[in-house]
Structures are given as C-alpha cells and as structure tokens.
C-alpha cells in the first residue's frame, strides 16, 4: 500500500492523535543548511573533535569560534522551510505534544513554534555561556564581529550547544516515559539514527507508540517503523499535515 494511504488508514484509529516528533538535520537541509554527516556534511573534511569538544575549544578557541561564527552567519541568513511550517500547523491543530529537535539553528522558533512545545536537546546557536561556567549567559542576535567572544569575567564565551562528550541536559527516561504515556504517533524526521541517546527513543517506545519515519534513506530505523516515507521532510511533512487536518475535520 502507498505510505500516504497507510497513514490515512492509521489515523482512522486515532480520531484526535497525540503526536510527537524527533527532528534531525534532514529538516534543516531543506533550508540549505548542511547536515553533519554524509557526502556534503559539515564534518566531511575535518575532525569534529577539533571543533565541537571542550578539548578542542581549550586548545584553539579562535579556530573553534571562527567555525561557529560562520555557522551563526549562515543560520541568521536562513529561513524556515515548508517542513518547519507544517510542524507549526500541527501545533495549531492541537495534536502536537512535543518536538524533540537535534538541530541548533533555531528555525523551529523562527517558524512560529511555541517554545513550550520544543526540546532543543543539543542546545542553540542563538545563545552562549561562559566557558569557565561563571554563570553568565548571553543571547546572540547578530554575527560576532570579533572572535573568540569574551565573557565579562575575563574568560571566553562558548556557543550553548552540546559538545562531544558532554551530557545532554534532558532526561532520556523522562522523555521515554512521556512518549509512552502521552503520544500515539511518533514522527522521525530527517534523523540519521546514529546520535545517542535520542536515537534510542524510538526503540524504547515502539511497543506503545506508532512510529513513522521520514527520510531520504529508507534504511534508517529499518525494522521498527510502522510506516516509512522515502523523501525529503520539507516535501513529505506538508502532505502528512494535510491528511491529519482532513482526518480531524471528518
């Protein structure tokens, strides 16, 4: 059966479905932002530990900040795509429980997503904090003119993103419990399924939640998905939201 027909049939069992999303870089790719891995990924020609670790920052804050300044400049010149807007529409329809995003570009909020519906599991490029953890936090509203960016205490600011080797600030088990208790359908959107612990959530909830995968690579999460859409998030999501909207009206 065509996956869109299968999705329509699935919704017949959920008159008012409760939906959560796990979002990866594939959604932002539709806005022109590079994914981390793959043929044109950010880390294609460079060791990520040099640019996204406490060790790398301590060793060479100028190089790290130069790289992040380029990322910040790219993000500030980027706009949300139809996939982001479709997720905003899910919230407007009253069926969105939560978005767990691995992206740090802030495009969900720019699209109009409510902050209370959003878990930025890896942080955000729109914020910085003191590298020496003096307690100061800052908001980035424009591209830094000079790098490394200094903190008021005399140390450096660092981007408020999760570096390799750092723990996320959200409880994996709390997210799993919430999804098992409060969610009927979990959408996996443009995620490679390789970054733990987020990639383990679908495996933990598959007994209680229907899992829908949206990815150009059909091999991601093979074996645990109820329906898979082989395609780009910015093309698939608007169609799914149209189906959900029609289902709610019927």
- Catalytic residue ranges: 122
* 48, 214 contact by CB (below 8 A): no
Using an 8 Å Cβ cutoff, are 61 and 112 in contact? no
Structure tokens at 114: 């409510």
């Amino acid at each position: 059966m065509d996956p869109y027909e299968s999705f329509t049939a699935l919704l017949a069992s959920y008159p008012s479905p409760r939906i959560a999303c796990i979002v990866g870089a594939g959604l932002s790719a539709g806005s022109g932002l590079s994914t981390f891995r793959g043929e044109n990924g950010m880390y294609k020609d460079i060791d990520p530990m040099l640019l996204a670790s406490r060790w790398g920052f301590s060793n060479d804050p100028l190089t790290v900040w130069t790289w992040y300044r380029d990322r910040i400049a790219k993000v500030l010149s980027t706009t949300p795509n139809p996939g982001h807007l479709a997720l905003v529409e899910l919230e407007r329809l009253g069926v969105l429980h939560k978005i767990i995003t691995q992206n740090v570009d802030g495009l969900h909020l720019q699209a109009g997503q409510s902050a209370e519906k959003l878990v930025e599991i890896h942080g955000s490029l729109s914020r910085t904090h003191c590298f020496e953890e003096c307690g100061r936090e800052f908001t980035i509203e424009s591209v830094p003119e000079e790098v490394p960016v200094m903190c008021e205490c005399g140390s450096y600011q660092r981007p408020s993103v999760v570096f390799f080797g750092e723990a996320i600030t959200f409880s994996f088990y709390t997210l799993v419990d919430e999804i098992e208790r409060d969610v009927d359908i979990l959408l996996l959107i443009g995620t490679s399924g390789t970054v733990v612990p987020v990639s383990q959530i679908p495996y933990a909830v598959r007994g209680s939640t229907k899992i829908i995968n949206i990815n150009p690579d059909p091999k991601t999460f093979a074996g645990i998905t109820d329906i898979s859409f082989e395609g780009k998030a910015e093309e698939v999501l608007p169609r799914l939201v149209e189906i959900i909207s029609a289902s709610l009206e019927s």
